[in-house]
Amino acid sequence: MHPNELCLNKLQAKQELLMDAYISVKEKYAIIKPALFSPDVCSNWGKGKAGRGFDVIRYTIANDVIKDICNIAFDNSDKNSISISSIYEKLRKTEVLTQAREWCQVDEKPLRDGYCKQFDTAWETFKTTWDSFQANPSNSIIKKIRDKIVAHLELQYDMESASYSPLNIEKEGLKWPDLDNALKDIEVMVVALHLIITTKSFSVGSLGDLEKSANIFWAQR
């Protein structure tokens, strides 16, 4: 087997794991999103005796989402990392990218040409989104918060309540829509990489109506 083909086989395995990681964080975020943005949910759950528990739940899951975003996007801790960054570092090599473009084994020229056009579009979409994602100051804040979480600084002493509370993400300079925007960019990149590496398209809509499930969950109170 040619070394570049072996590299692509490994990238295919990584891409499948990357897609699984993205689906997992998308489900987490879908559940917590109403607790971040819905006035009705915040009003029903955020007051009275349930208020403190509500804050713990939403901040804890939000912390998990932040860790997942950073792992999916930036992790380069070792050669087995499955992040977008690590896959990009392999894929950007000219010989590997060329091999990936020729991966489609279709005899009919119109079909092959059509795939190559899809490939080129997906690659440009990925690069543009990745460059923008890296340059976005909000994502630097997300990385900073992730570092605090990993360093076990996610619990802070609250003088007002005289107790420990989860790290207040908003006080770190992150706005809730920043998580939404980061995940939207990640979705674009993961879907583009899926086509580039596996030659198969992926429909995020196939995950089902996560938003509806989340609304049903929070409506229980």
Backbone dihedral region for residue 52 (phi beyond 0: left; psi -120 to 50: alpha; all else: beta): alpha
Note the pLDDT of residue 187: 95
CA–CA separation, 127 and 135 (whole Å): 12
pLDDT (tens digit per residue) in 164-208: 556 667 777 889 999 999 999 999 999 999 999 888 888 776 556
Contact 183, 44 (CB under 8 A): no
Listing DSSP states for 103-157 in one string gives -----SHHHHHHHHHHHHHHHHHHHHHHHHHHH-HHHHHHHHHHHHHHTT--EEE
The label of the residue with tokens 């990640």 reads 186
Contact 219, 36 (CB under 8 A): no
Q: What is the SS3 assignment for 163? A: strand
Nearest 5°: CA angle at 100, between 132 and 195?
60
The label of the residue with tokens 């107790």 reads 163
CA–CA separation, 126 and 111 (whole Å): 22
pTM to 2 decimal places: 0.84
* Burial of 184 per CB tally in 10 Å (0-12, 13-18, 19+): exposed
Lowest mean pLDDT across 16-25, 33-42, 88-97 = 88-97
Contact 35, 176 (CB under 8 A): no
Q: What is the SS3 assignment for 1? A: coil
CA–CA separation, 189 and 11 (whole Å): 15
% residues pLDDT > 90 (the chain): 40
pLDDT (tens digit per residue) in 128-156: 999 999 999 999 999 988 888 776 655 55
Q: How far apart are the first and last CA of the chain?
A: 58
Note the pLDDT of residue 199: 82
